[in-house]
Structure 1
Amino acid sequence: MLSTDDATNDRPRVTIRCQDNASVSVTFCDRFTFDADSVHYAVELRAPGLTARTDEVVAWSWGGDLAPFLEGLAADCRGWDGERNRQTCDRDLTVSAVFRSGGRVGLSWTSQPWPKAAGGWGASVTTWLEAGEQLASLAGGIRYFLAVDQQ
């Protein structure tokens, strides 16, 4: 389940909720940009007993970030074998996707700010979506959220 919410402070926000357990979610929020080459944003992971936030994840316009990856998954809605992965250039956000019978896709979102720093932390949640419309809607929502030319 995907929701886009502009009501909080007129800033785009995308929340992905697990189809199996709505208390498991990933939220993309607090986006800003300094130039035409990048978008900075925060990612919040939530699950029972877990709340984690990574600030200043960066999507580079030349990096083929999450939107093309999710669009590729949506295009393969009939399924694939194995696991597909995408990582941000700074390696602080990773998405792993698996396809299961019944047209379900598991997206495991792992946030690990400052991955090479000693004493760092990491958190992960998995959201389950249908491979068709829900995944296509997520891809479109992330494409909109990461658009460099937004205010």
Structure 2
Amino acid sequence: MTATDPALTALSQGWCALSLLHGKIEARIERALQSGHGLSVREFSLLGVLSRQHNGPGGHLQMKQVADAVVLSQSATTRLVTRLEDRGLLMRYLCDTDRRGIYTDVTDAGLALLAEARPTNDSALRAALDEAAKSPELAPLVRAVEELKAPVQVA
């Protein structure tokens, strides 16, 4: 394949469209969450990931797993956790079985803010997708996003 290969050009255009859609969605949600709840998209995402932890086997995430889930480096995730902990939305504690392990839980205040912000996030996401669907280059990606289903969890 050469740099002018039509397959590479199409692939590059598809990637650019996906990046554009992501940017539009994230910017819309960021504005809505910041103005309505004083949360960034990353903070909302982190609270959401940590709120799904449970006390069963494998129910608490290590910092690397949290970082992977919110698509940040471990150091950026640690800084984000610290900011939310300083705001009283998270708390850290040592793992009972491995004193090197540190876990993070969402506080009641964090859960309340997450519940309050979730409709704002969902509404902003819907608005961003509706707006993007008007663009011929983004409409197929919007349809693909709308068709995605969360994986079914088997108990």
Q: TM-score, normalization: structure 1?
A: 0.26
Higher strand share: 1
Q: TM-score, normalization: structure 2?
A: 0.26
Higher helix share: 2
RCO higher in structure (CA 8 A, sep ≥6): 2
Rg larger for: 2
